[in-house]
Structure 1
Amino acid sequence: MKLIRLGIAATLPIVLLASSCTSSDAGDPGSGSTTTTPAKPSIAVSVGPAPTQYNQGRKSVNFDPCVGVGDSVIAKIGFDPSSRKRMDQIHDDYSFIGCSFDQNGTVDGTTMTVRQLTISSTNITLDEFRKRDGTSSTVIQINGQDAIVHPDGPVSCFLETSGPDGALDIQLSIVQPHSAEQPCGNIKDIANVVQGAVSGK
């Protein structure tokens, strides 16, 4: 990655308690409401923990795509979940916590990586990305949210939209030799799936 320059709800019967109930009844685990913890995404290949952050003047990045984006999401957009590997950037005043994934294809009879995808959560805001890349970026909508898309040379494209910690940063790179594919032409479909999975985290 380039460096940044800057369910089914159970219906419970209602039981009317007699007026002689004491306050201790409220603490009975059988009579109180329960809290449901969201299930963690299924991930077959584990990675190491995110590195220590510094973030002078900013809040830490809390959402980690390496553990927060499941294998089913990665497979849905055509990448190999087993290629999951950590791809972080830690600087004095901002951080990117991310994961990268490969997509394999056959080129001249040889199986090789043809595309690479990096998904990061960063504490840089979408407005900061707009200011930095405004002249080279295109504004689009991702699941009804503003996003910006901008190329990074002929074989790589970035998309940023609002995320859990500031912005969700997605990079698509074409590594197949002699490919005529335009990465910015395909990144929106990928981002729609990824952002939908991350939304609300």
Structure 2
Amino acid sequence: MGLVVGIAVASACGSGSAATEPDEPAEAATSTTRTPRVVDDSGRPQITFDPCLDIPDELLIEAGYDPKSEEVTDYPMGSYTFLVCGYDGTLHIPGELFRYGQNIFSGNVTLEEEQAKDGDISTATTINGRRALIEVDRNTKNSCAIAVETTFGIVIFSRRYYADHTRGVPQAAWCAGLDELATSIEPLRFSQ
């Protein structure tokens, strides 16, 4: 699935919601302006959706992920940037599924750039009316990704299964439900 999906997450991050200024009244807490945690000088749009700050814990729990497992990584690559949050799945099926993980990459690259990089493993789709790509690399078993176009670039939802045996997870399950996760998260801050 290319360079972006193959990157591992490394260190811990915050609570899953943006903090307000200490002397702000409660009504002002609804402001949608926030300084991104990583700013590059590439001339690309700044990333306005931070997967570590903008996804409520309740949504993650409902989707089957453990918010306490949150891991954050920032990738300022010079000509583009990715903010990444990773989560462990909560389901374990002895003899079938050992564990699974979800990484959410928010980056200021275009969907066209993503398609140029991974077009051979991509299928066009839509998420809540937004252009998107489903990426399934049969050489990278047990994983699937969906890249969704945003006003600043793309958000990639990348899931990987770790089977509890050597047979792996059936290919039909690699992407199962991933579009539902993307659909539930898309309304949060993709247009800011």
> What is the aligned-residue RMSD (CA, Å)?
2.9
**Alpha carbons 2:40, 2:76 under 8 Å: kept:** yes
Taking structure 1 as the reference length, the TM-score comes to 0.68
Q: How many residues align?
A: 161
Structure 1 counterpart SS, 2:182: helix
Residue 166 of structure 1, CA deviation: 0.8
Q: Give runs of aligned pairs for residues 9-88 of structure 1, distance below 5 A.
A: 37-38=29-30, 50=37, 52-88=38-74
Taking structure 2 as the reference length, the TM-score comes to 0.71
Q: For residues 18-52 of structure 1, what are the alpha-carbon distances to aligned partners after superposition, in whole Å with 9 as ceiling and x for unaligned? A: xxxxxxxxxxxxxxxxx865279xxxxxxxx94x5
Residue 71 of structure 1, CA deviation: 0.5
**Alpha carbons 1:120, 1:170 under 8 Å: kept:** yes
Q: Partners in 1 of 2:44 and 2:150 — Cα distance?
A: 15
Structure 1 counterpart SS, 2:44: coil
Q: Give runs of aligned pairs for residues 170-181 of structure 1, distance below 5 A.
A: 170-178=157-165, 179-181=168-170
Residue 58 of structure 1, CA deviation: 2.4
Q: Which has the larger radius of gyration?
A: 1
Gaps of 5+ in 2: 6-26
Q: Partners in 2 of 1:122 and 1:163 — Cα distance?
A: 9
Q: Please say which of residues 138-147 and 184-193 is displaced more in the overlay.
A: 184-193
Which residue pairs with 1:188 in the alignment? 179
Inter-CA distance 145–62: structure 2 relative to 1 (3 Å threshold): closer
Inter-CA distance 146–59: structure 2 relative to 1 (3 Å threshold): closer
Letter in structure 2 aligned against 1:154: K
Gaps of 5+ in 1: 6-34, 41-48
State percent identity of aligned pairs: 25
Which residue pairs with 1:154 in the alignment? 141
Work out which of the residue numbers 99, 123, 132 in structure 1 matches 2:117: 132
Larger relative CO (CA 8 A, sep 6+): 1 or 2?
Answer: 2
